[in-house]
Structure 1
Amino acid sequence: MFLDELADAIAGEVEGDRTARAAFSMDASNYRHVPAAVAFPRSADDLRAILRVCRAHGVPVTARGAGTSIAGQALGEGVVIDCSRHLNRILSLDPENRTARVQPGVVLDALRAAAAEHGLTFGPDPSTHSRCTIGGMIGNDACGSHSVAWGRTADNVVALDVLTADGTRMELGKGLPPGPRGDELRALVDGHLALLRQGFPALPRRVSGYALDALLPENGVDVARALVGTEGTCVLLAEATVRLVASPAARVLVVAGYADDVAAADAVPHVLPLHPLTCEGMGADLIDALLVRGRRPPALDRLPEGGGWLFVEVGGADAAEARARADEVAARLHRETGAATVVAADPADQRQLWSIREAAAGIATRLPGGGEAWPGWEDAAVPPERLGAYLRGFRALLDKHGLHGIPYGHFGEGCVHVRIDFPLTTAPGRARFRAFMEDAADLVVAHGGSLSGEHGDGQARAELLPRMYSPELLRLFEAFKAVWDPDDLLNPGNLVRPRKLDADLRFDGPVRQLPITLRYPHDGGSLATATRRCVGVGKCVDTSSGVMCPSYMATGREEHSTRGRARLLFEMMRGETITDGWRSTEVRDALDLCLACKGCLSDCPVNVDMASYKAEFLHHHYAGRLRPASHYSLGYLPLWARLASATPGLANALAPVAARFGGITPERSLPRFARTTLRRAFRRRPMPSARGRQRVVLWPDTFTNFFSPEIGTAATRVLEHAGFDVVLPRGSVCCGLTWFSTGQLGIARRVLRRTLRVLEPDLRAGTPIVGLEPSCLAVLRHDVHDLLDVPALNALSLAEVLDRYAPEAEFGSLDADAITQQHCHQHAVFGNAADERLLRRAGVANRTLDSGCCGLAGNFGVERGHHEVSVAAANRVLVPEVTAAAEGTLVLADGFSCRTQIGDLTRRRALHLAEVLDRAIPDASR
């Protein structure tokens, strides 16, 4: 059998199950090809063996980098090769000669970090730099924002160590290789010199087609460069030697504001003579799309007045030189183009401003009106001096076809990115897609441009190459591929003999109408639409920072990323690869290691909410069936805690026995029920005068009420010190979090309805609800709308209430250092800006850790089978940071799970913000 033979032939893994096939069925394009298997080679010998077995069985081979291809060239119905798991080493770095030798799976940021130790960098830097691989960049000739200064990937490759389709290994650079292939290439060039010299448009971002002009004598007969951008259709990459460039010691960003993006494009010719490191452009419609997502990024307030902007970065040997150059750029743009300018010299300001542009690839998939937008005509390029005229024509073309998109991109090189609301789910819509693509191709060619200026042709644009190149040149493309791959084994259907651009669309197929329970208010009430949110840009497979995605950071497996899980859910809704709907064991197992941290709700550029999708799946998967024991023990925790509060000592004594039968992992220590509850302690406190004071309702969540009442007591003192009249809800309340997270949505909805009835008088009066447990507060702020059709609740964190309603409240200065583990749900739903301001008011020098999820994540880290991933998530950043903190440094964590994890793994006691502020109340005020 083919798969068995392939698995026996290589040292790496071969995965041909439904999970792998579904997870790798899509990239970041509009296309879908379900592979026969995915191979993870460990060496060049494995690559050769894969080629041998696939050639013998007539199975095509597709190489894939990070799976962020927008043109569809990282997909295949044969064997997909993923080098990122094992072939990911930097083999050598030569700072003197400014070169590095790398394996294809090396992530760009890993190479840049290694080069930075020598004051060097790899010039091309696409927005996916935190996860894209060097092999993928070589495959599609990636560029990025700094190609104005340092060129495309093709300009930065010295040599390629490759395998041809017959398994021959060759080191290629400048000069023809010896033997028959060299002879064939010589004949190809010598017989068509005039065509090669005159057949290609002259512009910096020509990525479409094969770069056969690199083989001309005047271009050094650069075979390696000719193979860059061939999209895996000619050779497989084993190793690459790349060129490094000196990184400026200091950089300063100038942002110039114009009336709109077309006016910004018209100003580009004034920028280029100033030799910037980068010149990026965008319009106000991108900002509108960003604001639709929710919280307003503070960087927006730094943008100069206008409706379109250029981001111009300059460098210098030191901060003073970079600033002087930036001031010169700003002055010249103001004088020559009338631009309003802002100069950002502070690195933090620059990062915030750049984050707007870098998020564009995801932001632009949702238009300001909420419509879905898709790639396809994603990255065409024209000569920079023609950019303004091209944009005017392009916007007119959108109007002609009744389409909408948000252009942005690398204006300094005439490259424009855009996603368009193609109606790809209907046959008439797909016809309009084709008509637009053909007209757009004619438009860009009329301006002397390239169909692709960065991402390659793939299935999206290869069919349109005859509109850009002559029939004679297209025949040379076929001849060039035949030199390396005469049997069309490597990535067939791309560039040469291409597939139709409107075939194999991911939207063109069956969609199961499975029953759903949540409302999906942002997706038209459709789970199918929700699963389409994931467009594959892969921010969830960035392991360098952030909250998303903790289980992928621990396992490195695609199905444990937000993207991989979204793919599985999509295939489940389609019903072809994943055929058993809500009963799917593949989807269940992929979601089992989802911590429901909600990191994807905020960190994913398109706000995928995997925690909610998991709850939906679990609800249906276990409908009418016995659930895992932990769903009863931990899912019903509010009920058990209420019963245990009658005799907490006995409950604590019996807890180990209950844990054994309740699906709780034996490695985990159990939190102890408090001797009294917050409600009882609240009734015994001294009652301050409430005359004329702002009333607030303190939310007695399960964790605070039954396990940590001292936090509720501290919060009460803080609120009363700040001038509030603090009350508890009139009756028993619960947000239903534990039932929601275990997929018991019917109970969660009933619990929430009852709670809202209890709170109804206070909600009607607009009384603030103060939440102390971030996960419970996130339910009241976000999940409640998935369960119930209710207006927004005035539910706020302690910091938000103090910041908004008591900005003049005085706290003493603790004069302390602190580190904070921000709860994932707080990060995702309401942030910690108010917490930071409160800590500064209390004299606390705080640093919020970029540690992601603590790993305990409510019920997740307590359940049997999750302990290893739970601890791995904590050990990534949190545990080392807490362990290294000085003894006097305060450790803050508002989440009960976070405090528990920190206590278990470091033996340090973490404090809630309420406890810190309580310490800061002046003695006289007490």
Structure 2
Amino acid sequence: MTAALERALSAALRGEVRFGTAERAVYGYDASNYRHLPAGVVKPADRDDVRTTLALCREFGVPVVPRGAGTSIGGQAIGPGAVVVDFRRHLGRVLSVDPDARTARVEPGAVLDDLQRAARPYGLRFGPDPSTHSRCTLGGMIGNDSCGAHSVAWGRTGDNVRSLDLLLADGTELTVGGPLDAAGRARLRGLPGRAGEVHRAVQDLAEQNLALLRRGMPDLPRRTSGYTLDALLPERGHDLPRALTGTEGTCAVVLGATVALVPEPPARALVVAGYPDETAAADAVPALLPLRPLTVEGMAADLIAALVAAGPRPPALDRLPDGACWLFLEAGGDTPAEALAAARDLAEAVRRAPRAAAAVVTDPSEQRQLWAIREAGAGIVTRLPDGGEAWPGWEDSAVPVERLGDYLRELRSLLGRHGLRGVPYGHFGEGCVHLRLDFPLTDPRRLPAFRAFLEQAADLVVSYGGSLSGEHGDGQARAELLPRMYPPEIIDLFGRFKRIWDPENLLNPGALVDPRPFDADLRFPGRDLPLTLPYEQDGGSLLTAVHRCVGVAKCVDTTSGVMCPSYMATGEERHSTRGRARLLAEMLRGEAVTDGWRSEEVREALDLCLGCKGCASDCPVHVDMATYKAEFLHQHYRRRLRPASHLSLGWLPLWLRGAALAPGPANRLLRHRGSASVLKRLAGIDRRRELPQLPEQRFTAWFRAWRAAHPVPPGATPVLLWPDSMAELLDPEPARAAVEVLEHLGYEVRLPHGPVCCGLTLISTGQLALARRVLRRSLRAVPAGLPVVGVEPSCTAALREELPRLLGPDGAGDLPGRIRTFAEFLDGSGAELPRLATTAIAQVHCHQHAVLGTAADRRVERRLGVETEVLDSGCCGLAGNFGMERGHYEVSVAAAERVLLPAVRAAGPEVTVLADGLSCRTQIAQLADGRRAVHLAELVRRALREASGAATGESR
């Protein structure tokens, strides 16, 4: 039946139909604890495709699950054996903005940030703003009744939906709006056909149960559990859009929506309030709400500890006042002075509480940095400060705000009785608490303890008049617990409401009504295969490593940052960091992907991973796909024939050393069209790529001549320069510049005793055993004790991170701690640098971004007086061997064309293009009309030469 459905869909749709193993695997997960492999995935091209998909699924009796960004934490965006309809790809437009009516028309796949950008020119915005705003879709927000930090001022999504264009499972289409008066309700009752039947049934359901709806639904701002049937009450205007928001795709498919917009405050100020603990912060909130802050967000010290444990300490933490829990209170105004005055009023109110402190932050950059800490919470708290794992499950409970402090005290006590730990934070202004806990979900024997805690936690929140969920809906995570929150009569109404809309139970069955057990269908089972790399942060387990991915989907944000260049180019979920992690999890599970390390589905998905390591730093949970790819390639090709490019580009330093014996003949061979074409074909290199030209003189030969002409002055401080293979054999100019600069500043540059290589070309192609041998040999050539300066960022990063990973801390010695980038060494030297009147644009090498950082580069440039614009371009797209290999050219170019190449082409000839990475300089030279980028060492050398009046020709 599944094969017949796939054929029918493929024949009928203009969009994409994907029923393969890889697609099913990556769409079998969202951001929850659950796994449900779908029958297949449809990416509709237009509304007609959606209509046809539902018609065919109804004909074949296959359920349908609508999906936005797949960031649901309750399991609402996945369904066993269903057809998942992904609206992001082709139905993601903001159709119009009406500034007079303060509304916007959107398609279901429209991303929230796109709506905000469309509304901003009119001084408007959509009020709800969950932390996933850069990738969550309006359809998903409507499905889950999303909220966000500003809901205390502007309400939930359901409060801001004006009308919905709906498609029912039986093909009926209708548009519902509200609120409605009696005449409006009567008009809907009189509609002909199925539409009138639905309206009559819904109105009768409400009118026959008025008393039950009035007394059986808790009245609090963050109730997102169950269906919002009290929106159907006459006093609430029989608001159908409100009642259908939060139904998690179980009643109808949203084809479009009209949403309300609110005025964007022209100016904002942030008050950060510090309290002794989270309960003190919660107790203080009711007194602050009358001042009408735009946000009241709570964040405790254990979240900060988890953040610091996960990576470098953000400088913004220095702005936090004394305390162990903080409230982020945002104030708005028509002018900065008005916002500041409102913030000062809030700060004064904060200080009235015992042992409370407050800081007012007006600088927009500092505000963004502080908010970034809060927005990263969903990812940060998946790892506890000691490295332990924490999972959703009791994620979004909410109580009346005046009872939040008492609820937190009892919740902490309950956690203690169950031996559970977590990091609470959330929307304290509306009594909503985010909390991921170290549930024993990976041990089936301990699942009864998981069930016992959730049942007791549900009873606790209900005893406070609260809601199981105050955001993100219920899904499989909490729907089974709804009878603990609502009386049986309300639960019965939920079922009757769904059956009015979806009598055949085709839309997201098992969610909300007749739910699946919350301790079933967990995503964690799997086994560990033999490994080569240590996975020291994950207990030596690749299974634990890939389960770092919790689906928050920062990797599918295409607007900025390093992640994920291949997803930005293809738009395919399986080419995102999240998609690849899901496929690896399926490989380790061994059910859908059955052939382990030999899996072609995993190999294909990883083939377009650039190995940029952006995810290792930018992913909130530090999924390191470059490392997982190296492991997979090592295992996949063990005792098997490797692709030609692994032997040509992976062994590139070896081939270059051979060619360097006769650079003239080698260059003639590489320049000749016929021979170059044959070489590229044999080497697995894309025919559109230019082969490199060898320098006439190797770097070490130049250095010997330099030393003969420039004896070391007495007393010079020795420093070791790492002559990486590319500097030695392909592009020696940055290393030459580094020598000249360092010796001008009074250092004695020394080189290793013999050839050295970081082994990165071998690591990136998964030849890990050979990489170990190369690194061991290189270490024998490095004298002890001296500081080491690396010129090539990727090599420097490999020595700092991959060397101890491959050889172990003992085998790596102290080299990882001794090596510095050129900028780091120069920055730390305190040497006085001359001023250079120029402007620059800088392309940051992705490995430097991920492993080394660039703060030292920026400080050196400021000392030079260079005004530098750092491009938010991510990976240049060449990524060492990646962009040279056959089959990667289009993705490589697309990555470069996103930001880098347009910026370089637009830069005038007087603007210096800075790129420390050889890959970046090569990509620019080949794709930006031959524009030459320079290394920071070359820029500093230029400044020194100009200052000394020396000739500007290249030093030889």
Q: What SS does the aligned partner of 1:438 have? A: helix
RMSD across aligned C-alpha pairs, in angstroms?
A: 1.4
Tell me whether 1:783 sits opposite 2:802 in the alignment: yes
Distance (Å, rounded) in 1 between the aligned partners of 2:322 and 2:825 = 32
CA distance 1:372–1:925, change in 2 (3 Å): farther
Candidates 684, 693, 706, aligned match of 1:663:
684
Q: Contact 2:549/2:581 (CA < 8 Å) preserved in 1?
A: yes
Tell me whether 1:800 sits opposite 2:804 in the alignment: no
Distance (Å, rounded) in 2 between the aligned partners of 1:640 and 1:658 = 12
1:832 aligned partner, one-letter code: T
CA distance 1:281–1:691, change in 2 (3 Å): farther
In structure 2, what is the equivalent of residue 856 of structure 1? 878
Q: Contact 1:519/1:788 (CA < 8 Å) preserved in 2?
A: no
1:129 aligned partner, one-letter code: H
Q: Contact 2:837/2:866 (CA < 8 Å) preserved in 1?
A: yes
Distance (Å, rounded) in 2 between the aligned partners of 1:254 and 1:694 = 49
Q: What SS does the aligned partner of 1:361 have? A: helix
1:793 aligned partner, one-letter code: G
In structure 2, what is the equivalent of residue 562 of structure 1? 577
Deviation readout 1:602-647 (Å, 9 max, x if unpaired) = 0101101111111111111111222111111100011111112211
CA distance 1:271–1:725, change in 2 (3 Å): farther
Q: Contact 1:721/1:925 (CA < 8 Å) preserved in 2?
A: no
Q: What SS does the aligned partner of 2:332 have? A: strand
Distance (Å, rounded) in 2 between the aligned partners of 1:669 and 1:864 = 13
Pairwise CA distance, 1:7: 2.2
Distance (Å, rounded) in 2 between the aligned partners of 1:148 and 1:366 = 28
In structure 1, what is the equivalent of residue 789 of structure 2? 770
Q: Contact 1:267/1:337 (CA < 8 Å) preserved in 2?
A: no
Tell me whether 1:277 sits opposite 2:294 in the alignment: yes
CA distance 1:754–1:389, change in 2 (3 Å): same
In structure 2, what is the equivalent of residue 748 of structure 1? 771
Tell me whether 1:425 sits opposite 2:442 in the alignment: yes
Deviation readout 1:220-245 (Å, 9 max, x if unpaired) = 10011100000000000001000011
In structure 1, what is the equivalent of residue 369 of structure 2? 352
Deviation readout 1:757-798 (Å, 9 max, x if unpaired) = 322x42xx2x22211111111111112232121164321111
Q: What SS does the aligned partner of 1:333 have? A: helix
Candidates 7, 15, 27, aligned match of 1:12:
15
In structure 2, what is the equivalent of residue 23 of structure 1? 26
In structure 1, what is the equivalent of residue 391 of structure 2? 374
**How do residues 506-525 of structure 1 correspond to structure 2 at under 5 angstroms?**
506-507=523-524, 509=525, 511-525=526-540
In structure 2, what is the equivalent of residue 297 of structure 1? 314
**How do residues 136-155 of structure 1 correspond to structure 2 at under 5 angstroms?**
136-155=140-159
Candidates 385, 407, 431, aligned match of 1:390:
407
In structure 2, what is the equivalent of residue 815 of structure 1? 837
Deviation readout 1:534-586 (Å, 9 max, x if unpaired) = 11100000000001000100110001100001111110111111111111111
In structure 1, what is the equivalent of residue 206 of structure 2? 189
Distance (Å, rounded) in 1 between the aligned partners of 2:411 and 2:46 = 46
Identical positions, percent: 62
Q: Contact 1:519/1:785 (CA < 8 Å) preserved in 2?
A: no
Distance (Å, rounded) in 2 between the aligned partners of 1:650 and 1:293 = 51
Distance (Å, rounded) in 2 between the aligned partners of 1:397 and 1:728 = 62
**How do residues 239-388 of structure 1 correspond to structure 2 at under 5 angstroms?**
239-388=256-405
In structure 1, what is the equivalent of residue 560 of structure 2? 545
CA distance 1:713–1:89, change in 2 (3 Å): same
Candidates 123, 129, 139, aligned match of 2:127:
123
Q: Contact 2:528/2:542 (CA < 8 Å) preserved in 1?
A: no
**How do residues 323-722 of structure 1 correspond to structure 2 at under 5 angstroms?**
323-507=340-524, 509=525, 511-655=526-670, 656=676, 657-685=678-706, 686-689=709-712, 691-722=714-745
In structure 2, what is the equivalent of residue 890 of structure 1? 912
Pairwise CA distance, 1:915: 0.6
Distance (Å, rounded) in 2 between the aligned partners of 1:648 and 1:279 = 67
Q: Contact 1:818/1:892 (CA < 8 Å) preserved in 2?
A: yes
In structure 1, what is the equivalent of residue 943 of structure 2? 920
2:894 aligned partner, one-letter code: A
Pairwise CA distance, 1:329: 1.5
In structure 1, what is the equivalent of residue 164 of structure 2? 160
TM-score normalised by L of structure 2: 0.95
Deviation readout 1:450-500 (Å, 9 max, x if unpaired) = 100111000000000011100011101111101101111111111111100
Distance (Å, rounded) in 2 between the aligned partners of 1:433 and 1:745 = 41
Distance (Å, rounded) in 2 between the aligned partners of 1:688 and 1:228 = 77
Distance (Å, rounded) in 2 between the aligned partners of 1:925 and 1:269 = 69
Deviation readout 1:63-98 (Å, 9 max, x if unpaired) = 111000001111112111101111111222111111
Distance (Å, rounded) in 1 between the aligned partners of 2:311 and 2:51 = 49
Q: What SS does the aligned partner of 2:323 have? A: coil
Deviation readout 1:285-313 (Å, 9 max, x if unpaired) = 11111111222211112222221111111
Structure 2, gaps ≥5 residues long: 671-675, 951-956
Q: What SS does the aligned partner of 1:793 have? A: helix
Distance (Å, rounded) in 1 between the aligned partners of 2:408 and 2:679 = 67
In structure 2, what is the equivalent of residue 829 of structure 1? 851
Distance (Å, rounded) in 2 between the aligned partners of 1:693 and 1:242 = 69
Structure 1, gaps ≥5 residues long: none
Q: Contact 1:722/1:802 (CA < 8 Å) preserved in 2?
A: no
Q: Contact 1:256/1:330 (CA < 8 Å) preserved in 2?
A: yes
Pairwise CA distance, 1:863: 0.7
Distance (Å, rounded) in 1 between the aligned partners of 2:407 and 2:479 = 21
* Structure 1 stretch displaced more, 291-300 or 836-845: 291-300
CA distance 1:690–1:331, change in 2 (3 Å): farther
TM-score normalised by L of structure 1: 0.98
Q: Contact 1:521/1:785 (CA < 8 Å) preserved in 2?
A: no
1:456 aligned partner, one-letter code: G
In structure 1, what is the equivalent of residue 751 of structure 2? 728
In structure 2, what is the equivalent of residue 73 of structure 1? 76
Pairwise CA distance, 1:388: 1.3
1:802 aligned partner, one-letter code: L
CA distance 1:925–1:726, change in 2 (3 Å): farther
Distance (Å, rounded) in 1 between the aligned partners of 2:753 and 2:302 = 47
2:687 aligned partner, one-letter code: P
2:501 aligned partner, one-letter code: W
Deviation readout 1:889-924 (Å, 9 max, x if unpaired) = 111000000011111121221110101111222644
Pairwise CA distance, 1:26: 0.5
Q: What SS does the aligned partner of 1:788 have? A: helix
Distance (Å, rounded) in 2 between the aligned partners of 1:257 and 1:271 = 14
Distance (Å, rounded) in 2 between the aligned partners of 1:165 and 1:788 = 58
Deviation readout 1:371-416 (Å, 9 max, x if unpaired) = 1111111111111111111111111111111111000111111111
Pairwise CA distance, 1:337: 4.7
2:820 aligned partner, one-letter code: L
* Structure 1 stretch displaced more, 150-159 or 244-253: 244-253
Q: Contact 2:276/2:355 (CA < 8 Å) preserved in 1?
A: no
Deviation readout 1:152-193 (Å, 9 max, x if unpaired) = 000000000001121100000124443111111121111111
Tell me whether 1:38 sits opposite 2:37 in the alignment: no
* Structure 1 stretch displaced more, 878-887 or 631-640: 878-887
Distance (Å, rounded) in 2 between the aligned partners of 1:409 and 1:580 = 42
Pairwise CA distance, 1:598: 0.5
Q: What SS does the aligned partner of 2:235 have? A: helix
In structure 2, what is the equivalent of residue 902 of structure 1? 924
Distance (Å, rounded) in 2 between the aligned partners of 1:424 and 1:836 = 45
Paired residue total: 918
